[in-house]
Amino acid sequence: MNHRGGLVVWAIILIPVMLAAQIPGYGTEIESRIDAMVAQMTLDEKIGQLQQYAGGESAEHREMAAAGRVGSFLNVRGAESTNALQKLAVENSRLGIPLMFGLDVIHGYKTLFPIPLAEAASWNPELVERAAAVAAREARACGIHWTFAPMVDIARDPRWGRIAEGSGEDPYLGATLAAARVHGFQGMDLSAPDRIAACVKHYVAYGAAEGGRDYNTTEVSERTLRDVYLPPFAAAVRAGAATLMSAFNDLNGIPASANPFTLTDILRHEWGFKGFVVSDWNSIGELLNHGIAADSAEAAWRALSAGIEMDMEGRIYKNALPGLVERGLVSTAAIDEAVRRILRIKILLGLFENPYTDPDLEKQMLRTPENLAIARQMARESIVLLKNDKNILPLSRSARVAVIGPLADRQQDLLGTWACEGEAGDVITLLQGIRSAAVKPDLVLHARGCDVLGSDRSGFKEAIQLAKRSDVVIAVVGESADLSGEASSRADLALPGVQEQLVQEVAATGKPLVVVLLAGRPLTIPWIAEQVPAILMAWHGGVQAGSAVADVLFGDYNPSGRLPLTWPRTVGQVPLYYNHKNTGRPTNEQKWSTKYLDWPITPQYVFGFGRSYSTFAYSHLSLDKNEMGPRAMLTVSAVVKNSGRVAGDEVVQLYVRDLAGSVTRPVKELKGFKRVYLEPGESRKIEFTLGPGELGFHDAHHRHQVEPGRFKVWIGPNSAEGIEGDFCVR
The dihedrals phi and psi of 666, each to the nearest 5 degrees, come to: -65, 155
Based on the residue annotation, tell me whether 360 is a catalytic residue of this protein: no
In the complex, minimum distance from the CB of residue 179 to ligand BGC, in angstroms, rounded to a whole number: 20
Neighbours of 86 (CB within 10 A): 23
Q: How far is CA 285 from CA 130, 336, 339, in A?
A: 37, 22, 20
One-letter amino acid at 354 equals N
Q: Which is nearer to ligand BGC, 486 or 687 (CB)?
A: 486
> Of the two residues 54 and 663, which places its CB atom closer to ligand BGC in the complex?
54
Closest separation between CB of residue 44 and ligand BGC, Å?
25
C-beta of residue 11 within 8 angstroms of C-beta of residue 61: no
DSSP letter (8 states) at residue 268: I
> Within positions 109 to 148, which residues make up the interface with ligand BGC, using CB under 6 A?
148
**Which residue's beta carbon is nearest to the bound ligand BGC?**
148
Q: Which of 444, 646, 465 is nearest to 549 (CA)?
A: 444
Contacts of 421 (CB under 8 A, 6+ apart): 77, 109, 110, 142
8 A C-beta contact, residue 95 and residue 346: no
Q: Which is nearer to ligand BGC, 206 or 271 (CB)?
A: 206
Nearer Cβ to ligand BGC, position 168 or 708?
A: 168
Minimum distance between the CB of residue 105 and ligand BGC, rounded to whole angstroms?
10
Pick one of 104, 169, 658, 669: the residue that binds ligand BGC (CB under 6 A).
104
Which CB atom, from 81 or from 587, has the smaller least distance to ligand BGC? 81
Strand partners of residue 8: none
Of 601, 477, 484, nearest to 532 (Cα)? Answer: 477
User: 280, 426, 551, 658: which one is catalytic?
Assistant: 280
Q: Under a CB-based contact definition with an 8 Å cutoff, are residues 51 and 100 in contact?
A: no
CA dist., res. 630 & res. 618, Å (int): 28
Contact positions with ligand BGC (CB under 6 A) in 62-81: 74
Shortest distance in whole angstroms from residue 108 CB to ligand BGC: 15
- Nearer Cβ to ligand BGC (76/385): 76
Strand partners, 619: 639
CB of 450 to ligand BGC, least distance (A): 32
Secondary structure class of 191 (helix, strand, coil): coil
Q: Which of residues 273-312 bind ligand BGC (CB under 6 A)?
A: 280-281
Evaluate whether 517 touches 535 at the Cβ level (below 8 Å): yes
Interface with ligand BGC: number of residues (CB under 6 A) = 7
User: Which residue, 15 or 54, is less far from ligand BGC as judged by CB?
Assistant: 54
Helix (H, G, I), strand (E, B) or coil at 199: strand
Q: Which is nearer to ligand BGC, 65 or 74 (CB)?
A: 74
Near ligand BGC by CB under 6 A: residue from 486, 505, 556, 687 = 486
Which residues, 6 or more positions from 571, have their beta carbon under 8 angstroms from its beta carbon? Answer: 159, 491, 492, 493, 494, 524
**In terms of DSSP H, where are the helices of 239-295?**
260, 287-290
Distance CA 685, CA 386 (A): 26
Q: Name residue 244's beta-bridge partners.
A: 200, 277
CB of 74: closest distance to ligand BGC in angstroms? 6
Residue 201 sits in the site that holds ligand BGC (CB under 6 A):
yes
- Whether omega for the bond prior to residue 630 falls within 30 degrees of 0, making it cis, is no
User: What is the full DSSP assignment across 140-172?
Assistant: HHTT--EE---B------TTSGGGGGS--S-HH
Which 395-454 residues touch ligand BGC, going by CB under 6 A? none
Q: Give residue 600's Cα distance to chain centre.
A: 29
What is the footprint of ligand BGC within residues 569-588 (CB under 6 A)? none
**Distance from chain centroid for Cα 159:** 16
Are 330 and 301 in contact by the 8 Å Cβ rule? The answer is yes
Tell me how far CA of residue 265 lies from CA of 35, 42, 270, 273, 449, in angstroms: 25, 29, 6, 11, 56
Q: Which is nearer to ligand BGC, 486 or 699 (CB)?
A: 486
CA distance 363 to 625: 57
* Cβ-contact 620, 638 below 8 angstroms: yes
Closest CB 310 distance from ligand BGC, rounded Å: 12
Identity of the residue, 90 or 199, whose beta carbon is nearer to ligand BGC in the bound complex? 199
- Give the shortest CB-248-to-ligand BGC separation in angstroms: 6
Map residue 468 onto helix, strand or coil. helix
The C-alpha atoms of residue 651 and residue 561 are separated, in whole angstroms, by: 8
Helix (H, G, I), strand (E, B) or coil at 8: coil
Phi and psi (nearest 5°) for 626?
-105, -10
- Min separation Cβ 480 and ligand BGC, Å: 20
In the complex, minimum distance from the CB of residue 150 to ligand BGC, in angstroms, rounded to a whole number: 11
Please return the burial class of 420, using the count of CB atoms within 10 Å of its CB with bins 0-12, 13-18 and 19+.
buried
Q: Which is closer to ligand BGC, CB of 85 or CB of 495?
A: 85
Query: Cα separation of 96 and 93, whole Å?
Result: 5
Distance between CA atoms of 600 and 19, rounded to whole angstroms?
42
In the complex, what is the shortest distance from the CB of residue 54 to ligand BGC, in angstroms, rounded to a whole number?
8
Instruction: Return the residues of window 657-696 that contact ligand BGC according to CB under 6 A.
Output: none
Q: Which is nearer to ligand BGC, 170 or 313 (CB)?
A: 313
Shortest separation between residue 488's beta carbon and ligand BGC, angstroms: 12
Task: Judge residue 321's burial from the number of C-beta atoms within 10 Å of its C-beta, 0-12 exposed, 13-18 middle, 19 or more buried.
Answer: buried
Interface residues with ligand BGC (CB under 6 A) are 74, 104, 148, 201, 280-281, 486
Please give the positions annotated as active site: 280
